[in-house]
């Protein structure tokens, strides 16, 4: 709800606004295991630094660490800036062209999660 108006976002709206292609399977499992996504970013001799249920952004190397922080700030609205979560790694995996997913469906799912998190924060105040 924005200024008393409810805006309904669905995959079709994201496709129309963004121009992103609708290809690949839908994916909304944000409980993805960390070790499944870490291998995509582990280059020869590179050590990824774990922290809790994620990894440190700087250990991804460039440009991936910087992109992860952009995702955190503008897409997933994750308040924890010092760790990259598995679903954020999944977005990076798509950009790295290591998998094909229905990106509009994933972005829609993440957008709804961010809206729910903001709704919960507002009710706690």
pTM here is 0.62
Per domain, the residue ranges of the chain are 32-119
For the stretch 14-37, pLDDT in tens is 778 778 777 777 765 666 666 777
Determine the pLDDT at residue 77: 62
Averaged over 35-58, what is the pLDDT? 77
Q: How confident is the model at residue 101 (pLDDT cuts 50, 70, 90)?
A: confident
- Report residue 106 as tokens: 């994933």
Residue with tokens 């963004």: 18
pLDDT at 87 over 70: yes
- Residue where the block lists tokens 């990824």: 48
Residue 72 tokens, joined: 């955190």
- Summarised one tens digit per residue, pLDDT across range 53-85 is 788 888 888 888 888 888 777 766 666 678 887
Q: What is the dihedral of CA 81, 110, 63, 53, to 10 degrees?
A: 50
């Amino acid at each position: 709800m924005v200024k008393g108006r409810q805006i309904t976002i669905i995959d079709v709206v994201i496709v129309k606004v963004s121009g992103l292609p609708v290809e690949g399977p839908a994916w909304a499992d944000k409980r993805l295991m960390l070790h499944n996504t870490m291998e995509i970013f582990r280059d020869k001799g590179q050590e990824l630094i774990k922290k809790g249920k994620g990894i440190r952004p700087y250990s991804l190397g460039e440009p991936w660490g910087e992109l992860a922080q952009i995702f955190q700030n503008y897409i997933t609205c994750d308040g924890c800036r010092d760790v990259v979560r598995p679903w954020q790694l999944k977005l990076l995996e798509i950009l790295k062209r290591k998998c094909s997913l229905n990106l509009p469906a994933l972005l829609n799912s993440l957008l709804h999660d961010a809206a729910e998190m903001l709704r919960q924060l507002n009710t706690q105040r």
